[in-house]
Structure formats: C-alpha cells, structure tokens
C-alpha cells in the first residue's frame, strides 16, 4: 500500500483507490468466510475479485507506475487459482 500512495495524482485516485478498496473487501470476505458453513462458493467468488486485482496490478506495470521487478515479485506470490 505504501507504493500505491506514491502513485501520480491521476492514477492514485482512480487505480490506487480501487486496488486499496479491493484489498480491504477481500480481507473482509476472507474473515467472514472463515465462519461460514458453505466456504467453497464464497472462496470462488473471492477468487474472482482477486483476478480483478491481478489485472489492476498488471495495469500498474503496463502504465510504468511500478518496475518489472516489483511486479514480478508480487506476481510470484499471487498466481491465479485453478479448480479441478
């Protein structure tokens, strides 16, 4: 999040705020899911939201707002989920 606060003004209030809000919403959903009886459906919905965050992170790289090294580091720890 400190990186998002350093974005240029035109990106900070659009893309940066969307990413931050998305992260908090996912956190809230994960906490709620912990106590839910039916977890799989909720986790699949959360995964969809994580995909949106993955694409938003990619936009940061494509707009050259983060360097490739930082993007690569984040991408390594957030691979897309697969369902069997």
Residue 5 host element (H or E): helix 2-5
DSSP state letters, 16-82? IHHHHHHHHHHHHHHHHHHT-S-HHHHHHHHHHHHHHHHHHHHHHHHTTSS-HHHHHHHHHHSPPP-
pLDDT, averaged across the chain: 82
Any domain includes 82: no
Count of domains for the chain: 1
- The tally of CA atoms less than 13 A away on the side-chain side of residue 34 is 5
Any domain includes 56: yes
Any domain includes 69: yes
Confidence of residue 72 (pLDDT cuts 50, 70, 90): low
Residue 13 has pLDDT above 60, yes or no: yes
Any domain includes 19: yes
Q: How far is CA 19 from the centre of its chain?
A: 6
């Amino acid at each position: 999040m400190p990186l998002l606060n350093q974005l240029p003004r035109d990106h900070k209030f659009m893309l940066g705020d969307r990413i931050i809000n998305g992260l908090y919403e996912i956190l809230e959903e994960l906490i709620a899911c912990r106590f839910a009886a039916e977890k799989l459906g909720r986790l699949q919905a959360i995964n969809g939201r994580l995909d949106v965050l993955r694409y938003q992170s990619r936009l940061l790289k494509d707009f050259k707002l983060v360097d490739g090294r930082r993007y690569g580091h984040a991408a390594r720890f957030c691979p897309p989920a697969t369902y069997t």
